[in-house]
Structure 1
Amino acid sequence: MGYAFAGPDIAFLVSAAGRAALAEVGALPLTDGSLLADLARVRRAHGAAAAALVETVRLRRRAAGKLDGAGEWLFTDDALQQATPSAVARHRAVRLAGRAVHDVTCSIGGELAALAQTCTAVIGSDIDPIRLAMAAHNLGVAAAGPGTIEPEPGRWAGPAGADTEDPAPVALLRADALVPCSRDTVVVADPGRRAGGKRTHDPAALQPPLPDLLAAYAGRDLVVKCAPGLDFSRLDWPGEIELVSLDGGVREACLWSPGLTAPGITRRATVLRTGHPPSTLTDADPDDIPEREPGAFIVDPDGAVVRAGLVRQYAAKHGLWQLDPRIAYLTGDTVPPNTRGFRILDRFELREKPLRAELRRRDCGPLEILVRGVDLDPDRLRRTLAPTGRTPYTLVVTRIGRTAAVFLCTATPATPG
């Protein structure tokens, strides 16, 4: 759960004394092996503030690979876990460019930082005064103390430059996400994804519950960030569901209301890779692909493409076809740019004894085993095959028709494109 920050912690951390103490603690290793000794040292120097100082430094270090420029930010453990990576937030901000936006679950402000770069007006609100105070500090809003950014009852703080004596890049207020308090804005929400301390895939178990959130903003332009494993079969969503991956890992599913997407698009896959422009597919793209025998390579599409159900569209775009119409593995004679492929060397039946003998003959050593469509434990199979040689190989085990097939392959590195 992490340390539970309170108002006095925030006031100290943003003060000159707190900043100096954070710099001092930031010079300590704070590793698992040194943590007890480091914490004792900080307690001797800073007393009751020690836990907040150590937690803040450790969270900032964790945030470094996720959020741009977060070295001076404040976090809670839960807020950092759910914070959207900066690259993903920037992608969404580009889609919302030129709009006035209200993030009704703004937390510590990670999404707001990206929205402020593209949108005409940005409002952030949250029910948690501690996270809201952290957002005020992180975004440079003048009123950074808990409670001081809550407007008078019934009044809307307004976007930057609108009826405010001291305009700020982002306007913050304390509000319940289920009680609308802005007009003429695109509403952005990121419901909490844990229930009872465990991650949930039930839309009704999110905080706030997704059905209640959709009802509260019915008829509004709405963007809702969700976990990629959310069970969308429990949700009758009339707009677009976008699956987004970053550097090979699927990070989120994002719901876009009908007014924010092109007519006829209900699924989108966006692949983000550091140093490359975004790659996007939708269910409006062509999906005609041939039926052929396996080509020279096997291609495993990015997880966003698979989860969005756009494998055929990906294959059509890159001149590939499926090994089996029900399985997401693709095949072809070339590998798409920025994609890892597997060159097929041979094909076998799934019979352990002859497969083990063949791997020994080929001096197989490091062995990667990929499985899809077959009830098989890769780790158990690797122990059974017991490779002891020096040459690395990949086994792709999949179902073709009613038969389990094993492809012996060598992995090919992703080629830039």
Structure 2
Amino acid sequence: MAYGFTLDDVAFLRSAAGRAALAGCAELDASRVADVAAARRAVGERHAAAVLETVALRRKSVAKIVDSGEWLFTSDALQQASATPVARHRARRLAGLAVHDVTCSVGADLVELSRAAPAVLGSDVDPVRLEMAQHNASVAGVAPLVSRADALRPVSRDAAVVADPARRDSAGRRVWRPADFLPPLDELVTAYPGRVLSVKCAPGMDFAIAPWAEEVELVSLDGQVREACLWRGLSTGVTRRATVLRSDGAQWTLTDAEPDEVPAKAAGEWLVDPDGAVVRAGLVRHYAARHGLWQLDERIAYLTGDAPPPGVRAFRVLEQLPYREKPLGAVLRRLGVGRLEILVRGLDVDPDALRRRLKPRGHEESTVVLTRIGRSPVAFVCRSERIPSEGFQPGSPGVGSAGSE
């Protein structure tokens, strides 16, 4: 059970005594009885739990929030917070506009918006998270206005609206119906007519149930799809966008305004599994057209070609055969494969169970790609290679990282 912070906890953690307690307990672990006892002796019973929880959350935050060493979090807020590169990307798209983050929580988006927008307001119904947001903004060197307010009762005029509705119920279970979001999605949209609107949602959401969204953007970071963002009012001229980010600052974007005329034909020298943001945005054909690739099958997201895009992990085809376990096992034994990765799309195959049955025992490493062409299951035995990002510049629209979905 996650610790429930109070305003008294936050006040202590922000004080000189709290900062000293956090520094003194930075190496302790709340899962160890001796460490809990040590924290109670050093801090006192009243605030020991808050200190230990904050120490643990700061450790977790390092993988998500840049320079978060002095931030304050609740467990739920950290879990839902946008990773810094994702929040920074959203802020860049709103640069130059006044912005109101109506569900600002502990400030992960608020901080990045404050660095890009001329005027920023953050609001939330939770007073504890608001106090944490003010602290985190101060630590980050920005000073947005912060106000306690219900997202469904606007306290700003004309500003672009950023929202990240909670997608878990009171028991912590994930909810998928927009009517069950907090605040409910349709009510949120209705509350801000005529405004530029940016709403963060789960990537697996059925976007057809948000007809007001003029653009759906899927965002991945370091090969993992992190979020979908529903946009209204930016007049971009596109309806679907995939944005691929890397922690080193590199990024590229693909939209449905680009060409998508590509054939489906026999495999070339390479197979390419487009980044998950591209797949979920429905832009596989656009990606293929940009990079001179083609499809194996019109209904399957694997692409193929004679030269893979720069900066991706691609699969050089060594063998292609109809998928049956015995012939596939014979090929792997002939190639001396012992370390085996199995990727599957379009077939009902459990990779782990298949690997156990194949019993690879050699010294070579290989990737088997299982898919179908038409109605026929096919196996490709490949060598995985990371293609260099030659000439790559951060922010370049044409190249970047594409990981397996």
Report whether the alignment pairs 1:240 with 2:221: no
Q: 35, 38, 52: which is aligned to 2:35?
A: 38
Q: 1:231 aligned to 2:206?
A: yes
Aligned match for 2:224, one of 249, 255, 261: 249
The CA deviation at 1:262 is 1.3
Q: Which residue of 2 aligns with 1:294?
A: 267
Equivalence map 1:148-187=2 (5 Å): 169-187=143-161
1:54-82 superposed Cα distances (whole Å, 9 cap, x missing partner): 00011111111211121111100000001
Residue 405 in structure 1 maps to residue 378 in structure 2: yes
Q: Is this contact kept in 1: 2:216–2:241, CA < 8 A?
A: yes
Question: C-alpha separation between the residues in 2 aligned to 1:415 and 1:200?
Answer: 40
Match of 1:394 in 2: 367
247, 258, 269: which one aligns with 2:242: 269
1:138 aligns with 2:136: yes
Q: Is the 8 A contact 1:202 1:231 kept in 2?
A: no
Alignment counterpart, residue 64 of structure 1, candidates 52, 62, 67:
62
1:194 to 168, 176, 181: 168
Query: 1:110: which partner in 2?
Result: 108
Question: Residue 203 of structure 1 corresponds to which residue in structure 2?
Answer: 178
Query: Take 2:258 and 2:69, find their aligned partners in 1: how far apart are those partners?
Result: 41
Matched, 1:352 2:325: yes
Instruction: Show structure 1 runs of 5+ residues with no match.
Output: 142-167
CA contact (8 A) 1:296 1:344 kept: yes
Q: 2:294 aligns with which of 309, 314, 321?
A: 321
The amino acid that maps onto 2:73 is: F
User: Paired residue for 1:145?
Assistant: none
Q: Separation in 2 of the partners of 1:312 and 1:360? A: 35
Q: Deviations over 1:71-124 (max 9, x none)?
A: 111100000001101111111111111100000000001111101111010000
Partner of 1:120: 118
TM-score (norm: length of structure 2): 0.93
Does the 8 Å contact 2:30/2:52 carry over to 1?
no
Larger RCO: 1 or 2 (CA < 8 Å, sep 6+): 2
Offset of residue 274 of structure 1: 2.6
CA distance in 1 between counterparts of 2:247 and 2:135 reads 28
Residues 125, 175 of structure 1: 8 Å contact kept? yes
Structure 2: give runs of 5+ residues left out of the alignment. 393-405
**Structure 1 residues 52 and 278: alpha-carbon distance in aligned structure 2, compared to 1, 3 A threshold:** same
**Whole-Å Cα distance in 1 between the matches of residues 357 and 175 of structure 2?**
35
Which residues of 2 match residues 300-339 of structure 1 at below 5 A? Answer: 300-339=273-312
Q: Distance in 2 between matches of 1:335 and 1:274?
A: 22
Q: Is the 8 A contact 1:203 1:231 kept in 2?
A: no
Q: Which amino acid aligns with 1:307?
A: R
Q: What is the identity, as a one-letter code, of the residue corresponding to 1:245?
A: S
1:258-280 CA distance string (max 9 Å, x none): x21312x1100000013353200
Partner of 1:93: 91
Q: Which amino acid aligns with 2:8?
A: P
Paired position in structure 2 for 1:156: none
Deviates more, 1:365-374 or 1:132-141: 132-141
Contact 1:103 1:112 in 2 (8 A): yes
- Check 1:276–1:67 CA distance in 2 against 1; reply closer, same or farther (3 A cut): closer
What CA deviation, in whole Å up to 9, does each residue of 1:148-170 have, x standing for no partner? Answer: xxxxxxxxxxxxxxxxxxxx831
Q: CA deviation at 1:334?
A: 1.0
- What is the aligned partner in structure 2 of residue 77 from structure 1? 75
1:15 corresponds to = 15
Shift of 1:31: 7.4
Q: Distance in 2 between matches of 1:385 and 1:296?
A: 25
Give the stretch that moved more between structures: 347-356 or 230-239: 230-239
Q: What SS does structure 2 have at the residue aligned with 1:230?
A: coil
- Distance in 1 (CA, whole Å) between partners of 2:345 and 2:143 is 48
Distance in 2 between residues matched to 1:329 and 1:41, nearest whole Å:
55
Range moving further from structure 2, 127-136 or 267-276:
267-276
Q: Number of residue pairs matched? A: 386
**Paired position in structure 1 for 2:400:** none
Alignment partners' CA distance in 1, 2:86 and 2:236: 20
Deviations for 1:370-399, whole angstroms, at most 9, x for unmatched residues?
000111111111111111111111110001
Aligned mates of 1:336, 1:25 — CA distance in 2: 48
- Within 1, Cα distance between the matches of 2:190 and 2:270? 48
The 8 Å contact of residues 279 and 301 in structure 2, kept in 1 or not, is answered as yes
Tell me the distance in 2 between the aligned counterparts of 1:238 and 1:228.
15
TM-score normalized with structure 1 length: 0.90
State whether residues 107 and 136 of structure 2, in contact with CA within 8 Å, keep that contact through their aligned partners in structure 1: yes
* CA distance in structure 1 between the aligned counterparts of 2:306 and 2:28, rounded to whole angstroms: 50
